Chain A
Amino acid sequence: MDLAPRQRQRLTGYLFVAPVALFLAAVVIVPLGSAVWTSLLRVRGLRSSFVGVANYATVLADETFWHGLARSAAFTASSVLLHVALGLALALLLAELRTARTALRIAFLTPWMVAPAVGATVWLWLLEPQFGVVNYLAQSAGLIGSPKAWLGEPLSAFASVVAVDVWRGVPFVMLLMLAGLQTVPQEQYEAAALDGANAWQRFRYVTWPNLRYLVVVATTLDVINTVRHYDIIGVMTGGGPASATEVLPVLLYNTAFRGNRFGEAAAIGVLLLAIVLALVVVYIRITRIDRDAGDAR
């Protein structure tokens, strides 16, 4: 078979892409298709029957879903805000340091290197009401009078899981910001110094304009990552107490594996996917706008 050079080139390209496409189909498209199909079934153990969009109707009519969505929004907003603020602050601090910078970078990165479930289990014991170290330290410092059940009350449980997620999530943002800081032209700082700018002015008029795009990208990526977060909350509270920390991924897990309602759980999963996809679209738009702006420049 004779092929034109252009066709041959295209075919070769497809052949090179084929293994990756097959791999992606196996690990993304097939499970995704399976999840969508499951969301259209009434599943009871190993038996199932087609029910159309009934699971979606059930989920959307259930206040538990909306509660989970609200919890997800609150968890994501709090965590991402703190990730970005603290990540940026730490990056600025580390960039200024002249000694022990590498050691501190490694130290700050450690929580990110620990498996989330392992970190969550460690925190579970640190926050244990009777024998936990956090209560011991807080009592010793006179911050609390009697041992506190950090994970036993809605507000403190929510704050605790956010705190642990921040402990784990900050290093990633810090790393991105540190990389971003390396790209800020040194001449701009020198010019600002010559103009007599103080530290805040240097940040406001030199660092921030150079990092702004990166902050937006990091925030969007972090939102996408946090909104589908399961492990820390799953291990620490399982969504309790009284559903105070039951974000959508935890609700999904509880519906599937505790409630044995896989169809409804799959519907929650598909709705969660839709939320994440919407965020991905936002991310793509942001990066495209910047690319277009770059081209125009």
Chain B
Amino acid sequence: MNVRIAGATRLALSLAVAAALCSGAARAADPIVLQWQTANLTESQYEPIWKKTIAEFEAANPGIKVEPVLVARKDHWTKFVAAAQAKQAPCIVSVDLTTAAYNGYLLSLDKFWNAEPASFRSAWNPDILTAAKWKGQLYGLPIWGGTYGEIYNRDLVVKAGLDPAHPPKNFDEYIAWGRKLTGDDHWAMAVLGGKTDTTTRVLLTWIWANGGEAFNADMTEATFAKNPKSLAAIKTYLGFARKGGIAAPAPTTTNYLEQTNLFAQQKIATMRNAYWSVAKVVGDNPALKGKLFATSNPANVPDAPTLATVTASSISASCKYPEAAWKFIKFDADRKWSIERAVVANWMPMRNDIADAPEIKADPMLAQFVAMGAHARSYPLPHPAWAEIAANDIVDAVQKALLDPDKTDQIFRELDAKVTKKLNDI
């Protein structure tokens, strides 16, 4: 009996050791899997590039696999927050950097950045890097950006009897153009009031173009209604959506996607957007290729700033393989991919060493957006509560004002009070 038990024990032990060895061997052979989430992976103009980037990265780094996490733009932030709270966030993310860093969702990149040679680090201007810092620490590597300008459909402009060589320079001229570009079933433009921060981006460009400010200098006070120029700009812009105005209907459900769809279908003649929207529109309606032109935003003050988004790649705090993640971020930030993103997806490069690249020089519209960027303010605005303020509070006020225009003053006064409280409650 004892002999039988001893034999059985030995057999069990041998099997256990063999199983442990096998599983250890399997684990050693398993590649590191890095999840990658940005709001843009679902955009068709970017798809061929990111697929190529991943394929080449994996070929160069056989031990690492990159798994894209495809999330609709409107769910991008909430999905990230839910995952970050569970300490299961994708390793590589592009999110509202200040808010995410403040909440402890991101890893400081200083260790990796400082270990890189000066030749690598010098490809980013200090100003650009400032937009990726929180409390002096680097939390993201700026990869691409988008400067907001006014993009027109040349055919529709000419058809309306307008001269593309002399686009509107100020609000009054814009309104005059708008009236001519609006007909029974088509409109000059679309007012954005859908529930994402794109609504806020466009609103800010109108405020700044009128010499207004949405916040005081140290971002401790909101001045949407307090600053008369801001309020005047808000009323002008949202007023386009009034009955008989120059904007497409349904502004409270219109966002980037709806706006570009309307533009691609030639239902609207102009859109306030970044250069990447051109690639999206031409992808949706190839007949528009070469028929678009861009100008600076019409402004009532000289040298009015526009808005330039800075999208940075970050490493989430819960990432198990930060070294591998940094390797991918570096790879993705390479000159080659920056040029390809600019040419194919129309994303503005953030590196300072590719302005002279022949591919970039060959694109006059890109050059135009680069020039507009000289007077741009970086976005998101640097405040920990910005993600909520931009996607919730401001959008809510815009929607309310669109639905009840006569109460615009009151709505934005209430917004000032609400946002000021949030700005100081961190």
Docked-complex contact B399 and A240, CB < 8 angstroms: yes
A149 to B78, CA, bound (A): 26
0 or 1 for each of B389-409: is its CB under 8 Å from A? (1 = yes): 001100110011011000000
Residues of B within 8 A of A152 (CB): 249-253
CB distance from B90 to the nearest CB of A (A): 16
Q: Is B272 an interface residue (CB 8 A)?
A: no
When chains A and B are docked, how far (Å) is the Cα of A241 from the Cα of B193?
A: 9
B261 at the interface (CB under 8 A from A): yes
Known: A46-B103, A241-B403. A149 touches B252 (CB 8 A): yes
* B103 near A242: Cβ-Cβ < 8 Å: no
Tell me, rounded to whole Å, the shortest Cβ–Cβ distance linking B143 to chain A: 23
Query: Which residues of chain B come closer than 8 Å to A254, judged between CB atoms?
Result: 392
Asked if B317 and A46 make an inter-chain contact with CB atoms under 8 angstroms apart, the answer reads yes
Question: Is A185 among interface residues, defined by CB-CB distance under 8 A?
Answer: no
Are B252's CB and A241's CB within 8 A?
yes
Residues of B within 8 A of A240 (CB): 195, 252, 395-396, 399
Query: Is A218 located at the chain interface by the 8 A CB criterion?
Result: no
Q: Is the CB of B77 within 8 A of A242?
A: no
Given contacts A149-B252, A149-B253, A254-B392, contact A242 B399 (CB under 8 A): yes
Q: Is the contact region of chain B dominated by helix, strand, or loop, or is it mixed?
A: helix
Q: Across the interface, which residues of B come within 8 angstroms of A146, CB to CB?
A: 249
**Interface residue total, chain A, C-beta cutoff 8 A:** 28
Q: Which residues of B, 60-77, contact A by the 8 Å Cβ criterion?
A: 74, 77
> A74 to chain B: closest CB distance in Å?
18
Q: Mark A130-171, 1 if CB is under 8 A from B, else 0.
A: 110000000000000011010111100000000000000000
Would you call B262 and A130 a contact (CB within 8 A)? yes
Q: Does A288 contact B (CB under 8 A)?
A: no
Contact A258 to B251, CB < 8 A, known contacts A45-B105, A130-B262, A241-B399:
no
Q: Please give, as numbers and ranges, the residues of chain A lying within 8 Å of B248 by CB-CB distance.
A: 130
- Interchain residue pairs with CB less than 8 A apart (14): A45-B105, A46-B103, A46-B317, A130-B258, A130-B265, A154-B403, A240-B252, A240-B396, A241-B399, A253-B78, A256-B81, A258-B77, A258-B388, A260-B385
> Which 9 pairs, one residue from A and one from B, show the smallest C-beta to C-beta distance?
A45-B103, A149-B250, A257-B78, A46-B104, A241-B252, A242-B399, A129-B250, A242-B400, A152-B250
| Residues in B lying within 8 Å of A, measured CB to CB | 74, 77-78, 81-82, 84-85, 99-100, 102-105, 193, 195, 248-253, 258, 261-262, 265, 267, 317, 385, 387-388, 391-392, 395-396, 399-400, 402-403, 426
Chain A positions within 8 Å of B, measured between CB atoms, are 44-47, 129-131, 146-147, 149, 151-154, 238-243, 253-254, 256-260, 262
